[in-house]
Amino acid sequence: MLEIKGLSAEIEGVQVLRRANLSLAEGATVALIGRNGAGKTSLLRAIMGFMKVTEGAISFDGRPLDSVKAHLRPRLGIGYAPEDRRLFSSFSIEENIRLPAEVMKLPAAEVARRLESIYAVLPELAELRHRPAAGLSGGQGKMAALARALMVGSRVILLDEPFQGLAPVLANRYAAALRTLRDSHPDIALLITESNPSLLRSFAEKAYAIERGEVSETALAASSLAAAGLH
Amino acid sequence: MLLLAALDGLAYGSLIFLVAVGLSLIFGVLGIINVAHGSFYAIGAYVAAAGVLAMGAMGLPAWLAFPFLLVAAALVGTVVGGVVEIVLLRRVYGKEEVLQLIVTFAVFMILEDAQKVVFGVQPYFANAPMNWLGTVDVFGIYYTKYQLILMPLVALAVLVGLRFFLRRTSFGRAIVAVTQDREAATAMGIDAAKVYLITFIIGASLAALGGALASATTSLTPGIGAGTLVLSFAVAATAGLGRIEGAAVAALLIGLGRSVAVYFAPEFDVLIPYLIMMLVLLVRPQGLFSTVQTRKV
């Protein structure tokens, strides 16, 4: 469904992705493992259309994405939860979650249906829905960012280091929410970046390692990751 | 005496608010300090005056001038503002501030000359709308209803309307989202380029509306844009750039301060707005209503 072939990208003249290849099938859960600065965020931002791509291509359902403007990509069903959450602080949590639906002018019934399914995956957000996003803790903010990505991501969800900075209890809670999502929406593909592969071992079925912008397929078993110097 | 000064200040403050809130909105969303903002005020004033004079010459009823002032402001904001944003500003977003200042200053200079070419250098005076509304007697002093009632009402409508637009409408919320985080807003499906364009057109139209309203109260000569621009900068800086309600309070403060000076110490009349700005910025460098390092609409 989502194919990245020979993708290179740069930020202010510095190459951050080097001929990266990655493939994401419908309903798959794929991990992208790498150290800080390896290019994980750049790859996700390239998918969303925020990077200057110098060579290679990204296609979605066989259609090249480079001709699709960044703001039109969410309409293809691609949801994105950035690492630093980036919620809109002057809105409430539910206003944040509803925003993409409002922008895409989804019918009210469809928005209600999606909200219900989001709150089924993340029940703690239902209680906090009217709270201002500015007052959320780190863990709550990550969940709200996941919820917002779910509102738009009917096909693919890109999660950038969702466990980063979470206390162990919250990380477990977040992982449990991802498992619920996996069960309730088996057709949505998940691409999750992480620097600590052990967190993803329990539910990712395929993994890529990224190092200095180069992507290679890897196994999630502890030994092979250790061999790759990532664990 | 103080009441009379307050009534004068109200009209003056309303006018400056319209210009300053546009400047502030553009800075809050686009992050650009728009020196060309004064030109939108001046062109709005000239187009409105030329239109009102033409309508008078054609023998059209005087009340038609009021909807025309609104149309003229929207037209100037959309056409001149739209062209400036699409052709020039788009290329300098996110670049160094000095470059943005030079570009908008160049636009200001070009538009100043364009006004002279199109409208000439002779003063324009089109006070028909102000005369048509008549006067009102306050303690034996006659005020024009245009300045005492209409201008503050328009300013109030703009303030309430802008607040409602930004908080309650879908496009308004898109503007707020882009202001807070352009990339995250784009990932939600918001067309940030369109948001920038429309915000710039709204800001430019508000300046042009200030000019259109002012055109009935004063004679228009080359250079009116520069004076108003500097004053609206003082208001926006006093409030904290990007603050809408703050701009209203600061405009009122500076309007009142200036009127009081006119009555009690006329030699300080021109100085007062900047004195107020300086005092405020000495105590609160980020402006009256801003918190440090945040940028809000």
pLDDT tens digits, one per residue of A152-210? 999 999 999 998 888 888 888 888 899 899 899 999 999 999 888 777 777 788 889 99
pLDDT of residue B132: 87
Q: What are phi and psi of A105, to 5 degrees?
A: 55, 45
The structural domain count of chain A equals 1
Report the CATH architecture of B2-283: Orthogonal Bundle (1.10)
Could you tell me how many CB contacts below 8 A there are between chain A and chain B? 57
The pLDDT of residue B291 is 63
What 3-state DSSP class applies to A228?
coil
Q: What is the pLDDT of residues B146-172, one digit of tens each?
A: 998 999 999 999 999 999 999 899 999
Percent pLDDT > 90 in chain B is 57
Least confident interval from A75-79, B94-98, B152-156, B209-213: B94-98
Among B180, B183, B190, select the one facing A103 at the smallest CB separation.
B190
- Of the candidates A87, A95, A100, which has its C-beta nearest B189's C-beta? A100
Q: What is the pLDDT of residues A127-149, one digit of tens each?
A: 988 999 888 888 889 999 999 99
Instruction: State the average pLDDT for chain B.
Output: 90
User: How much is the average pLDDT of B66-81?
Assistant: 96
- Closest residue of chain B to A97, computed from CA coordinates: B188
Q: How many angstroms separate the CA atoms of A145 and B168, rounded?
A: 22
Q: Is residue B291 within 8 angstroms of chain A, CB to CB? A: no
Decide if pLDDT at B134 tops 90: no
pLDDT of residue B6: 85
CA angle B210, B216, B218 (to 5 degrees): 90
The shortest CB-CB distance from A152 to any of B180, B188, B192 is to: B188
If pLDDT is split at 50, 70 and 90, which confidence band does B141 have?
A: confident
| pLDDT attached to residue B292 | 53
Helix, strand or coil for residue A204? coil
**Residue of A83, A85, A98, A102 for testing the chain B interface, max B β-carbons within 10 Å:** A102
Q: What is the mean pLDDT of residues B202-221?
A: 94
Q: Which of A82, A89, A103 sits opposite B189 (nearest CB)?
A: A103
Residue of B nearest to A148 (CA): B188
ipTM: 0.89
Query: Minimum mean pLDDT among B37-51, B61-75, B197-211, B278-292: which range?
Result: B278-292
Q: What region, left, alpha or beta, does residue A212 occupy, with left being phi > 0 and alpha being psi -120 to 50 degrees?
A: left
Q: Which residues of chain A approach chain B closer than 8 Å at the C-beta?
A: 45, 48-50, 69-72, 74-75, 80, 82, 86-91, 95, 99-100, 102-104, 148, 152
For A181-194, the pLDDT digits (tens) are 989 999 999 999 98
In the three-class reduction of DSSP (H, G, I as helix; E, B as strand; rest coil), residue A190 is classed as strand
Which residue of chain A comes nearest to B189, CA vs CA?
A71
What span, in angstroms and rounded, lies between the C-alpha atoms of B265 and B261? 5
- The pLDDT value recorded for residue A221 is 58
Separation in Å, CA of B243 to nearest CA in chain A? 14
Structure confidence at residue A231 (pLDDT):
40
Q: Is the Cβ–Cβ distance between B37 and B241 less than 8 Å?
A: no
> For residue B6, how many other CB atoms are within 10 A of its CB?
15
pLDDT score recorded for residue B129: 85
Residue A194, SS3?
strand
Provide the CATH number for the domain around residue A96. Answer: 3.40.50.300
* Angle, helix B151-168 to helix B170-180, in steps of 10 degrees: 80
For range B214-225, the mean pLDDT: 90
Q: What is the distance between the alpha carbons of residues B254 and B42, in angstroms, rounded to a whole number?
A: 21
Q: Give residue B289's pLDDT band: very low, low, confident or very high (50, 70, 90).
A: confident
Q: Report the gap between the CA of B291 and the closest CA in chain A (Å).
A: 14
Q: In this model, does residue A227 exceed pLDDT 90?
A: no
Of B216, B151, B217, the closest CA to residue B7 belongs to: B151
Range of the domain at A10: 2-227
SS3 of A161, please? coil
Q: With an 8 Å Cβ cutoff, is B189 touching chain A? A: yes
pLDDT confidence of B8, banded at 50, 70, 90? confident
User: Quick check: B249 and B267 in contact, CB under 8 A?
Assistant: no
B176-182 long-range CB contacts below 8 Å, 24 or more apart?
B176/A88, B176/A90, B176/A91, B176/B297, B177/A88, B177/A91, B177/A99, B178/B29, B179/B28, B179/B29, B179/B242, B179/B295, B179/B296, B179/B297, B180/A88, B180/A89, B180/A90, B180/B295, B180/B296, B181/A86, B181/A88
pLDDT in the model for residue A230: 42
